[in-house]
Structure 1
């Protein structure tokens, strides 16, 4: 039945979005290495309006522990520095008048464990989203059954939804294993 196919396609799409969102959230958890995406959430007041840091400066990683930020307009350097200080990154920027240098401190064991916990929470949120999609899709399929779709077709569709759920949940588990390894590797 065409409607069943549409529900299955939509379920797949939504589950993939949950995985993609989890990937994006895990990228924000820094593992002690200097990565430009560490600054993704930083907004800078650019002529009075909050603008993402990446739109007003270039961010590079000269080595594994350092980020350098070079504003495209020199007058923004103090504004960028202030934004970093006011963020929840806990980093102390060094400003030499032309660029800002951020040194990423090595992480303590306790900090690593907290980051692993944070990663686990993000992954669990992703899996909850996937299970929610499964529940909503199955409810929609049952409505179709009440509207006259055959019980066998609905049962097969529900089995497919469960396979999607297992598959996408496994992807999130793999993401967690990789992230945990990244965080715990000194």
Structure 2
């Protein structure tokens, strides 16, 4: 029975990749001087008593490289959407035109670029922590398996396997962060 004990590394890898996907999504919301509809994804509006993503209260478009427009469907929510954008920390000043909110994307100055690289580094650290938590779960599974009779050689094999997977995913996070920081600092 002892040689039948296995650790589900596929599940660990799937969970680690989930953290990586989350990081990529967070990176896509960081603006780099070009307009992107995904930059407003993290912003929610208090619509009808519950926090709602902006893309669910209006149509988001990118008509030109330095402009995002939001056509809010309900006139009553225009002010709330505008307020949510102002308070989001994106550093964008929304302009109203009826039910259309225009977001002109200004050039990033050096100070704002450095700020954004720090935000990106924070996102990357959160992803690293999530990956390490998955690693810890994997190591706990191995310890439980050892108490059920896993051989010491098998334990060392699985620990090395989990650590190798962790190292690979952390390297991916570092590579993605380096790439995003280079993109942000590009003038």
**TM-score interval for Structure 1 and Structure 2 normalised by the shorter chain:** 0.7 to 0.9
Provide the residue aligned with 2:29 in structure 1: 28
| Matched positions, count | 185
Using a 3 Å threshold, how does the CA distance of structure 1 residues 13 and 66 change in structure 2: closer, same or farther?
same
**2:93–2:103: 8 Å Cα contact kept in structure 1?**
yes
Using a 3 Å threshold, how does the CA distance of structure 1 residues 48 and 123 change in structure 2: closer, same or farther?
closer
Could you give the per-residue CA deviations for residues 107-139 of structure 1, whole angstroms, max 9, x where no partner exists?
Answer: 111111121122122212212222232233123
**2:69–2:102: 8 Å Cα contact kept in structure 1?**
yes
Partner secondary structure for residue 38 of structure 2: helix
**2:35–2:66: 8 Å Cα contact kept in structure 1?**
yes
Using a 3 Å threshold, how does the CA distance of structure 1 residues 38 and 157 change in structure 2: closer, same or farther?
same
* CA distance in 2 between partners of 1:80 and 1:132 (Å): 36
TM-score by length of 1: 0.87
Could you give the per-residue CA deviations for residues 143-176 of structure 1, whole angstroms, max 9, x where no partner exists?
Answer: 3123211111111111111111111112111211
Could you give the per-residue CA deviations for residues 18-63 of structure 1, whole angstroms, max 9, x where no partner exists?
Answer: 2122222222222122111111133334344432210121111122
Could you give the per-residue CA deviations for residues 47-92 of structure 1, whole angstroms, max 9, x where no partner exists?
Answer: 4443221012111112221111112344543332233233322322
Provide the residue aligned with 1:122 in structure 2: 123
Runs of 4+ residues over 6 Å off in structure 1: none
Q: Counterparts of 1:4-43 in structure 2 under 5 Å?
A: 4-6=6-8, 8-43=9-44
Shift of 1:10: 2.6
Partner secondary structure for residue 132 of structure 2: helix
TM-score by length of 2: 0.87
RMSD: 2.0
* CA distance in 1 between partners of 2:27 and 2:134 (Å): 21
Using a 3 Å threshold, how does the CA distance of structure 1 residues 159 and 183 change in structure 2: closer, same or farther?
same
Using a 3 Å threshold, how does the CA distance of structure 1 residues 2 and 19 change in structure 2: closer, same or farther?
farther
Using a 3 Å threshold, how does the CA distance of structure 1 residues 2 and 124 change in structure 2: closer, same or farther?
farther
Partner secondary structure for residue 5 of structure 1: coil
Gaps of 5+ in 2: none
